[in-house]
Structures are given as structure tokens and as C-alpha cells.
Amino acid sequence: MLAEEEIYENEITEHGIEERAIIHNNDFQANRTSNIEECLVSVMEIGLSCSDKSPGKRMAMNIVVNKLQTIRDSFSRSINRKGEKFAVDFQ
């Protein structure tokens, strides 16, 4: 009986570990998706500003470059924190 109880406890422990890993992976994917969406929204906002009909209302290119670099750096930092490789160079 003792061996059966140990096997049962091991199965429960393994199941719990697997369940936590799945939950952690789902959280990681949700955070990653959220970060990608935020970056895309920021890039789209810049694009819309640059395509305004009135040239006077368009964002200056030096500001565009600075904002894009900030977006790139933010995205790159968040990816690197999660252990993935990511590199973008606007130059």
C-alpha cells in the first residue's frame, strides 16, 4: 500500500508541476501578445501622424526617429527579459 500511495502522490505532484508550467506559458504568451500589440499601436499612431493631409500637422522626422527608437528599445528589453533573441536596427 505504501508504494501505491507514493506513486499517487508523485502523480499529483507531477500533474501540479505540469499545470503550473502551462499556466506560466499562457501568462508569458499573453504578456508577449500585449507587448507586441502596444508596439504596433504606437507604430501605427506614428504612421497616421506622418500621413496627415496637412504637411504642417505631420510629425517631424527627428521626432519620428526618436519615437521609433524608443519603441524598438522598449520591445527589445521586454523580449530580452523573457530570454528570447531579438534585434532591430533602424540605421
Q: What is the mean pLDDT of the chain?
A: 75
Share of the chain above pLDDT 90, in %: 36
pLDDT of residue 18: 65
Listed by start position, the domains of the chain span: 25-80
Instruction: Detail the DSSP E strand segments found in 1-91.
Output: none
| CB of 21 closer than 8 Å to CB of 29 | no
Amino acid type, 67: K
Is the pTM value of this prediction over 0.95?
Answer: no
pLDDT the model gives residue 44: 95
Neighbouring CB atoms inside 10 A of 73's CB total 11
Reported as a pLDDT band with limits 50, 70 and 90, residue 2 is low
